Structure 1
Amino acid sequence: MMLTLSDILNNVVPVFFYSGLVVFAMSGGLRAIQADMDLFGVLMVGFVTGAGGGTLRDILIGALPVNWVSDPTPLAILFPASLLAYGVHSINWSNRAIFNWIDAIGMAVFCVTGAAMTMDMGLHPVICVMMGVITATFGGLIRDILCNIVPLMLRQEIYATAALLGSTLYVGMDLMEMDPALSALTGMSAALVLRGFAIRYKFNIKEDSNDEPPQMFERGE
């Protein structure tokens, strides 16, 4: 029996969610390492980055207990993925470049999976789009605050805009009853392309050219 494109995409979609957990946990681990945190700090920041947005989404839409409480599988992914940051950090590339691209992939995945989980609850499409954006951005917001960094989404407008684009495309295509897997892939791709374009051409990036992101508070001597 020949597999159709729809069959292939539908088999891949569940992988998207877990892939998003891995890359977001890695981005949290990288931030924690750059902030000179110990192993516990790296694990906690990685966990919060991967689970924070989805936790807030589940609380807001009343999907209780939240995802990682009812199914501990994400925990088995988030903590080991956080440790992968040590290996990534040791690579002789620009730390900012590594972080931005890893974070972009996580954002692109979560803006769609967050919207999809909300659509399954039968909520209004506008709420579904909002929950997609929250899922994609809130974990990173907490991550940056814990690491004493001005949150990425508050200083780079295209970050939140990319999440909004991906979430909106997915919800719109779902309302038109298009193939769910194709809708998900389209939304993720659009969000990643827009965010990647901003990273590549430095749109809305107001930081200095060094690898140190702006801190919220100056560290003591």
Structure 2
Amino acid sequence: MASPLRSKSENGENNEHTSPQQLVLDVAPLNCVPYVGPTNPDDKSVSPEENTDVTETIGPAMIFLPSETTSEDLDSIVACTKHGVALTGAAATGTMGPIVGLVDIGVLEDSYYFRVSLPGVSPDKKDFSCDIESDGKVLIKGITTTGEKVVVKNSQVFHMLTQNLCPSGHFTVSFELPGPVDPEKVTSCLANGLLEAVVKKR
């Protein structure tokens, strides 16, 4: 489909007529769902009665709302879904990426600091390890305990309707610190889904 701001001359060349205040963006959509509209009224091959029981499911979808949307509008949209999740504020504007393994690295004159997002990771020492080599390579291994289909809490069995957290199972996260370190001089803590560590430079 051609942009309304572009036209073709008779010899086939593109003549772009753009307003200086309006930029023309040529980007691919994030998600495409084929349009299934009403049938052509002149088409007698399909009767309206045949389409009354057809419901199309599109799977996960994302809706972008204008900034002036009220909380009542958002609540009514979420109420129309069976198991919808609404994100607002910083959660809605955050970068899409893996839930487990996001890494921040900081530097000081004599040491490095890093923190790794590890939600749902078992803190048990037999299930979790963080190895730091002298050249600055860090390898984290563990098991996530979220994402299961059935959750047992206080002898109650819950069948999960939504599963948006990281699937359960083994994982590894590896990255490199900016320089060599002393692996014997490390202090670390895994709590509340976040691994934090300070390691001395060599």
- TM-score after normalising by structure 1: 0.23
**Which is bigger in relative contact order (C-alpha 8 A, separation at least 6)?**
1
Larger Rg: 2
Q: If each structure's strand is expressed as a fraction of its own residues, which one has the higher value?
A: 2
More helix by share: 1
Alignment TM-score, normalising by the size of structure 2: 0.24
